[in-house]
């Protein structure tokens, strides 16, 4: 597999259109055929719209409320599928890691290592991800301000890795709601790294009595439009052909057949607000 710089950065650079980029895919890898079909479909859409695309899929879900919740098909099998998606569909891939020893193993299969929001302050985890040389996408904790994410960026860069992305995913509001403070996007952008809006996770309704997270998918377009309007470099959207049958986080995912129309509308918003000469991804140019 080619290095993160060789494979990933060309997809980030889109100086001709100044377009946002997209991280999208299922919440968790459910099987090879589904992953390939989803990736191929999104690649077709994003190629048509000239949107740089990174396939997203968790190889294991560690942060589940209930003991009997689906966590994955097995680490080795899921990582093999992610590697195959990258190779056969020809797109960069991203997956999340939860413990330091996972970094090196996952880095053999994907181009971007993602740090979950609730782990964004874990120094050892950040350093382990940084030391792989892969791009590191850090989700902002639901309990943190945008300003506080400077220290997470500094940890990754202290290991000699300059390739960092920050992702906003809302802040806890009470016990079972999240709200998005859109000030965090320009605040985090000041750190010289690309900033992404995690559209679907920001619409979760965690800590439900059933032990299964709820969501508000009807507001996906609202959050995405607002993020593009205030200058997000990228969007993170979990999508599935049939969210009702998804094995994880179906309550807040976008139906795959709605993605193209949404992206078409978002490209018009981006064009309307993009300053002349702007470049989509600041901070990752070699």
Full pLDDT tens readout for the chain, 286 residues: 334 333 444 445 433 357 899 999 999 999 999 999 999 999 999 999 999 999 999 998 766 555 555 566 889 999 999 999 999 999 999 999 999 999 999 999 999 999 999 999 999 999 999 999 999 999 999 999 999 999 999 999 999 999 999 999 999 988 878 999 999 999 999 999 999 999 999 997 765 545 455 667 799 999 999 999 999 999 999 999 998 888 876 678 899 999 999 999 999 999 998 776 554 443 343 3
Does residue 232 belong to any structural domain of this protein?
yes
Q: What is the pLDDT of residue 13?
A: 41
Looking at the structure of the chain, the number of domains it has is 1
pLDDT score at 204: 77
Q: Is residue 284 part of a domain?
A: no
Pairing of β 53-56 and β 93-96:
parallel
Q: Domain with 142 in it: what CATH number? A: 3.20.20.70
* Domain assignment of residue 30, yes or no: yes
pLDDT of residue 187: 97
Residue 134's Cβ-side half-sphere holds a number of Cα atoms within 13 Å equal to 29
Confidence (pLDDT) at 217: 77
Residue among 237, 238, 240 nearest 224 (CA):
237
pLDDT value for 207: 55
3-state secondary structure of 169: coil
Q: Is residue 283 part of a domain?
A: no
- Alpha helical stretches, state H, the chain: 4-12, 32-49, 75-89, 102-107, 123-131, 150-158, 184-189, 220-229, 259-273
What are the structure tokens assigned to 71, written together? 């966590």
Please report the pLDDT score of residue 61 as a whole number: 72
Q: What is the pLDDT of residue 11?
A: 46
Q: Is residue 282 part of a domain?
A: no
| Residue 280 forms part of a structural domain | no
146, part of any domain: yes
What local confidence, expressed as pLDDT, does residue 12 receive?
A: 52
Distances (CA, A) of 83 to 78, 204, 218, 241: 9, 28, 32, 21
Q: Are 128 and 146 in contact (CB under 8 A)?
A: no
Domain limits for position 186: 4-273
* pLDDT number for residue 213: 58
């Amino acid at each position: 597999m080619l290095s993160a710089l060789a494979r990933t950065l060309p997809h980030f650079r889109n100086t001709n259109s100044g377009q946002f980029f997209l991280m999208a895919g299922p919440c968790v890898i459910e099987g090879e055929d589904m992953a390939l079909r989803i990736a191929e479909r999104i690649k077709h859409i994003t190629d048509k719209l000239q949107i740089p695309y990174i396939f997203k899929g968790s190889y294991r879900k560690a942060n589940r409320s209930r003991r009997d919740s689906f966590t994955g098909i097995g680490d080795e099998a899921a990582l093999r599928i992610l590697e195959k998606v990258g190779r056969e569909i020809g797109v960069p891939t991203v997956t999340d890691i939860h413990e330091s020893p996972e970094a090196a193993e996952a880095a053999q299969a994907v181009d971007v290592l993602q740090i979950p929001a609730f782990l964004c302050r874990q120094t050892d985890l950040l350093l382990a991800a940084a030391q792989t040389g892969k791009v590191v996408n850090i989700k902002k904790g639901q309990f943190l301000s945008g300003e506080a994410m400077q220290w997470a960026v500094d940890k990754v860069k202290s290991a000699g890795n300059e390739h960092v992305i920050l992702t906003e995913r809302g802040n806890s509001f009470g016990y079972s709601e999240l709200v998005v403070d859109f000030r965090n996007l320009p605040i985090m952008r000041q750190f010289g790294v690309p900033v992404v809006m995690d559209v679907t996770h920001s619409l979760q309704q965690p800590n439900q009595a059933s032990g299964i997270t709820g969501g508000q998918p009807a507001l996906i377009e609202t959050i995405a439009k607002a993020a593009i309007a205030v200058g997000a470099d990228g969007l993170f959207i979990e999508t599935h052909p049939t969210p009702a049958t998804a094995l994880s986080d179906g309550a807040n995912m976008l139906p795959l057949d709605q993605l193209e129309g949404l992206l078409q509308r978002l490209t018009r918003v981006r064009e309307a607000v993009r300053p002349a000469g702007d470049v989509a991804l600041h901070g990752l140019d070699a």
